[in-house]
Amino acid sequence: MLCSNQEVARAIALLIGVSVITTMMTLLSLSMGREPTPFWSLPVINNHSFAYIHNDVDFCTRNKIDILLVVPSAAANFVKRQTARDGSRGEYVQNATNHAAMLFFLGKPSVNENMTTIQQEIDQEAKVFGDIIQEDFEDVYKNNRLKSVAMLRWISKYCTSAKYVIRTDDDIGINISSLVPVLERTARSLDNFMIGRKLVNDVPARDVNSKYYMSLREYPKRNLPPYLLGGLVGYPASTAKLLYEAALRVKPIWLEDVYISGMCAPYVNVTILSDPEFTFQHKSPAS
């Protein structure tokens, strides 16, 4: 059967429309810095399936928590953790009107330490304070990326009811009361973001004696992507899920702050920001 000119014209218009939509979707995907392949369909290449040594799965459901402080801490850093509990962070979470809580994230003691004694002390610490989340990976500096992913994993699974997460090192001084308004103000215009101290055009350390050394094989580019220093970072709790899913799929480097905020965040359209009021000081005795 021969088609009328009108039918032919409609068919051509339909084909053109489909082509235009496909092109627009491809361009949109590329403009976001990603390939047209949907991110969520990418394979998991960094499966984070470490068992928990200490974990309180009901920690967030037992309490109303708006602000969750997560603190990565080396297994043997007992004094630093106690200093944080006794300092301004501890005072903030102990004030019930703040609806805040603080958790320390650890790996297991290194084979180069007195593993049994340190683990026994951690077991006692967890029993007394109830604020230890510990996973079964070796707690060494080069595994800081695993600790950062462990925090994102735990928030995503066990604390989705929180509003904001503030990630702090265990040896810094902060004023939480000045940080929370920054997060609230930023959330009025953005749903997914990370805020901290942003570095742009930083370069990887190529000196093998540097604490932050990265080989050309691990990271061949001349400049690091824009990223946030890991000492203090804040973000909505909902953003943790996006970052965790990205961390399962993005090729890793060991520098956790560059990896999470500089490499994973762009893949899930998480905006990284600086704010002069969102800052910290190192080694304050009242932290």
| 66 against 28, higher pLDDT | 66
Mean pLDDT, the chain, rounded, equals 88
3-state SS class at 112: coil
Question: Residue 255 belongs to what domain range?
Answer: 44-282
pLDDT, residue 10, reads 56
5 confidence band (pLDDT: 50, 70, 90): low
Residue 91 counted as domain residue: yes
pLDDT, residue 41, reads 83
117-131 pLDDT, tens digit each: 999 999 999 999 999
Residue 3 counted as domain residue: no
- pLDDT higher than threshold 80 for residue 94: yes
Residue 12 counted as domain residue: no
Question: What mean pLDDT do residues 126-147 have?
Answer: 97
pLDDT, residue 134, reads 98
Residue 94 counted as domain residue: yes
State the total domains in the chain.
1
Residue 80 counted as domain residue: yes
Residue 116 counted as domain residue: yes
Residues 6+ apart with CB under 8 A from 167: 69, 70, 71, 72, 151, 230, 232, 233, 234, 235
CATH number at residue 75: 3.90.550
- pLDDT higher than threshold 70 for residue 86: yes
Residue 33 counted as domain residue: no
Residue 110 counted as domain residue: yes
Nearest partner of 193 among 240, 149, 148, 155, judged by Cα: 240
